[in-house]
Amino acid sequence: MSRFFRTALIVLAIAAVTHVGAIWAVPRGIMALVIGGVAEAAAGYNRAYHPPPIDDKARTVVLPSPDIRYSICALDLSAGPVEVTATPPASYFSLSVFDAITDNVAVISNATTGTGPIHLVIAGEDTAAPALPDDAHLVTLPTTTGLLLLRGLAATPALAEAAETARRTLVCRPLARDSAG
Protein backbone atom coordinates (compact mmCIF):
# COMPACT_ATOMS: atom_id res chain seq x y z
CA MET A 1 0.00 0.00 0.00
CA SER A 2 1.40 3.35 -0.94
CA ARG A 3 2.26 5.95 1.64
CA PHE A 4 -0.47 8.27 0.30
CA PHE A 5 -3.23 5.70 0.81
CA ARG A 6 -1.99 4.77 4.26
CA THR A 7 -1.94 8.46 5.27
CA ALA A 8 -5.42 8.94 3.75
CA LEU A 9 -6.76 5.96 5.73
CA ILE A 10 -5.29 7.32 8.97
CA VAL A 11 -6.81 10.74 8.30
CA LEU A 12 -10.20 9.16 7.52
CA ALA A 13 -10.03 7.04 10.68
CA ILE A 14 -9.23 10.10 12.81
CA ALA A 15 -12.05 12.03 11.10
CA ALA A 16 -14.51 9.19 11.76
CA VAL A 17 -13.57 8.97 15.44
CA THR A 18 -13.78 12.76 15.78
CA HIS A 19 -17.17 12.77 14.05
CA VAL A 20 -18.54 10.09 16.36
CA GLY A 21 -17.21 11.95 19.37
CA ALA A 22 -18.65 15.29 18.31
CA ILE A 23 -22.01 14.09 17.04
CA TRP A 24 -22.77 11.09 19.22
CA ALA A 25 -20.75 11.10 22.44
CA VAL A 26 -20.46 14.80 23.32
CA PRO A 27 -24.23 15.56 23.53
CA ARG A 28 -24.82 12.42 25.61
CA GLY A 29 -21.95 13.26 27.94
CA ILE A 30 -23.04 16.86 28.39
CA MET A 31 -26.65 15.88 29.08
CA ALA A 32 -25.57 13.17 31.53
CA LEU A 33 -23.59 15.80 33.47
CA VAL A 34 -26.44 18.34 33.39
CA ILE A 35 -29.13 15.81 34.33
CA GLY A 36 -26.97 14.44 37.16
CA GLY A 37 -26.21 17.96 38.41
CA VAL A 38 -29.88 18.93 38.42
CA ALA A 39 -30.81 15.70 40.22
CA GLU A 40 -28.17 16.44 42.84
CA ALA A 41 -29.40 20.02 43.30
CA ALA A 42 -33.01 18.82 43.57
CA ALA A 43 -32.06 16.03 46.02
CA GLY A 44 -33.18 13.37 43.56
CA TYR A 45 -34.66 12.63 40.17
CA ASN A 46 -38.25 13.49 39.26
CA ARG A 47 -38.28 16.46 41.62
CA ALA A 48 -38.56 20.15 40.77
CA TYR A 49 -35.54 22.36 41.37
CA HIS A 50 -36.01 26.12 41.54
CA PRO A 51 -32.60 27.80 41.17
CA PRO A 52 -32.18 31.34 42.45
CA PRO A 53 -32.75 34.20 40.00
CA ILE A 54 -29.98 34.65 37.46
CA ASP A 55 -27.23 37.14 38.20
CA ASP A 56 -23.87 37.92 36.59
CA LYS A 57 -22.26 34.81 38.13
CA ALA A 58 -24.93 32.25 37.19
CA ARG A 59 -23.97 29.81 34.46
CA THR A 60 -26.04 26.69 35.19
CA VAL A 61 -27.88 27.36 31.92
CA VAL A 62 -25.93 28.41 28.84
CA LEU A 63 -26.42 32.15 28.33
CA PRO A 64 -29.09 32.52 31.02
CA SER A 65 -31.33 35.57 31.03
CA PRO A 66 -31.89 37.62 34.18
CA ASP A 67 -35.38 38.41 32.78
CA ILE A 68 -36.43 34.75 33.00
CA ARG A 69 -37.12 32.58 36.05
CA TYR A 70 -36.17 28.94 35.55
CA SER A 71 -37.32 25.71 37.17
CA ILE A 72 -36.05 22.32 36.11
CA CYS A 73 -36.59 18.59 36.69
CA ALA A 74 -34.11 15.82 36.01
CA LEU A 75 -36.25 12.99 34.67
CA ASP A 76 -35.57 9.30 35.27
CA LEU A 77 -38.15 7.01 33.69
CA SER A 78 -36.44 3.74 34.62
CA ALA A 79 -39.03 3.05 37.35
CA GLY A 80 -41.98 4.20 35.23
CA PRO A 81 -43.72 7.34 33.97
CA VAL A 82 -43.39 10.74 35.63
CA GLU A 83 -46.31 13.09 36.25
CA VAL A 84 -45.77 16.83 35.81
CA THR A 85 -48.12 19.59 36.92
CA ALA A 86 -47.72 23.36 36.88
CA THR A 87 -49.81 26.50 36.80
CA PRO A 88 -48.01 28.91 34.48
CA PRO A 89 -48.10 32.69 34.77
CA ALA A 90 -50.50 34.75 32.64
CA SER A 91 -47.52 36.22 30.78
CA TYR A 92 -44.89 34.41 28.72
CA PHE A 93 -43.95 30.90 29.78
CA SER A 94 -42.36 27.93 28.10
CA LEU A 95 -42.10 24.33 29.26
CA SER A 96 -39.68 22.16 27.26
CA VAL A 97 -38.87 18.47 27.60
CA PHE A 98 -35.46 17.28 26.38
CA ASP A 99 -34.23 13.72 25.98
CA ALA A 100 -30.80 12.48 27.05
CA ILE A 101 -29.21 13.45 23.73
CA THR A 102 -30.38 17.10 23.74
CA ASP A 103 -33.38 16.64 21.42
CA ASN A 104 -36.37 18.79 22.35
CA VAL A 105 -39.29 16.34 22.35
CA ALA A 106 -42.10 18.60 23.62
CA VAL A 107 -42.82 22.29 24.05
CA ILE A 108 -45.78 23.89 25.76
CA SER A 109 -46.07 27.67 25.94
CA ASN A 110 -48.61 30.41 26.39
CA ALA A 111 -48.64 30.72 22.59
CA THR A 112 -49.69 27.07 22.14
CA THR A 113 -51.93 26.37 25.13
CA GLY A 114 -52.88 29.66 26.74
CA THR A 115 -52.38 30.02 30.47
CA GLY A 116 -54.34 27.12 31.92
CA PRO A 117 -52.82 24.48 34.17
CA ILE A 118 -50.32 22.04 32.67
CA HIS A 119 -50.68 18.32 33.36
CA LEU A 120 -48.32 15.91 31.62
CA VAL A 121 -47.35 12.29 31.95
CA ILE A 122 -43.88 11.60 30.59
CA ALA A 123 -43.19 7.97 29.70
CA GLY A 124 -40.42 6.10 27.94
CA GLU A 125 -41.15 4.84 24.45
CA ASP A 126 -40.65 1.25 25.63
CA THR A 127 -43.19 1.71 28.44
CA ALA A 128 -46.72 0.40 28.02
CA ALA A 129 -49.04 3.37 27.58
CA PRO A 130 -49.96 4.42 31.11
CA ALA A 131 -53.50 5.17 32.21
CA LEU A 132 -53.66 8.94 32.10
CA PRO A 133 -55.42 11.21 34.56
CA ASP A 134 -58.41 12.89 32.86
CA ASP A 135 -56.72 16.19 32.06
CA ALA A 136 -53.19 14.90 31.32
CA HIS A 137 -51.33 14.76 28.02
CA LEU A 138 -48.80 12.03 27.25
CA VAL A 139 -45.23 12.95 26.27
CA THR A 140 -43.09 10.05 25.06
CA LEU A 141 -39.38 10.30 25.75
CA PRO A 142 -37.11 8.14 23.54
CA THR A 143 -34.50 7.87 26.32
CA THR A 144 -34.71 6.74 29.95
CA THR A 145 -33.49 10.08 31.27
CA GLY A 146 -34.22 13.64 30.27
CA LEU A 147 -34.72 17.18 31.42
CA LEU A 148 -37.77 19.40 31.85
CA LEU A 149 -37.25 23.16 31.79
CA LEU A 150 -39.94 25.68 32.79
CA ARG A 151 -39.31 29.34 32.02
CA GLY A 152 -41.34 32.40 32.99
CA LEU A 153 -40.87 36.05 32.06
CA ALA A 154 -39.53 38.25 34.87
CA ALA A 155 -38.73 41.52 33.05
CA THR A 156 -40.52 43.75 35.60
CA PRO A 157 -41.05 43.37 39.35
CA ALA A 158 -44.70 42.37 38.79
CA LEU A 159 -43.76 39.79 36.13
CA ALA A 160 -40.94 38.49 38.31
CA GLU A 161 -43.36 37.97 41.20
CA ALA A 162 -45.85 36.17 38.92
CA ALA A 163 -43.11 34.01 37.40
CA GLU A 164 -41.75 33.14 40.86
CA THR A 165 -45.20 32.15 42.11
CA ALA A 166 -45.91 30.12 38.99
CA ARG A 167 -42.62 28.24 38.92
CA ARG A 168 -43.12 27.15 42.53
CA THR A 169 -46.22 25.25 41.34
CA LEU A 170 -44.07 22.93 39.20
CA VAL A 171 -44.27 19.38 40.52
CA CYS A 172 -42.48 16.38 39.00
CA ARG A 173 -43.15 12.99 40.60
CA PRO A 174 -43.50 9.35 39.70
CA LEU A 175 -46.95 8.64 38.28
CA ALA A 176 -49.16 6.96 40.86
CA ARG A 177 -50.31 3.57 39.60
CA ASP A 178 -53.97 4.41 40.32
CA SER A 179 -53.93 8.03 39.10
CA ALA A 180 -56.27 7.63 36.11
CA GLY A 181 -59.47 9.45 36.72
Q: Mean per-residue pLDDT for 125-148?
A: 89
Does residue 129 form part of some domain? yes
Does residue 158 form part of some domain? yes
Does residue 36 form part of some domain? no
Does residue 9 form part of some domain? no
- Residue 5 has φ and ψ, to the nearest 5°, of -65, -40
What is the reported pTM?
A: 0.83
Q: Mean per-residue pLDDT for 162-167?
A: 92
- Count of structural domains within the chain: 1
Instruction: Calculate the alpha carbon distances from 78 to 20, 121, 146 in Å.
Output: 26, 14, 11
The CATH number that applies at residue 81 is: 2.60.40.1610
- Which residues is 82 bridged to in the sheet? 122, 174
Residue 157 has a pLDDT of 94
pLDDT band of residue 58 (cuts 50, 70, 90) is low
Does residue 25 form part of some domain? no
Does residue 32 form part of some domain? no
Q: Which residues span the domain enclosing 159?
A: 48-174
Q: Mean per-residue pLDDT for 80-93?
A: 91
Does residue 20 form part of some domain? no
By mean pLDDT, which of 1-10, 69-78, 101-110, 149-158 is the weakest? 1-10
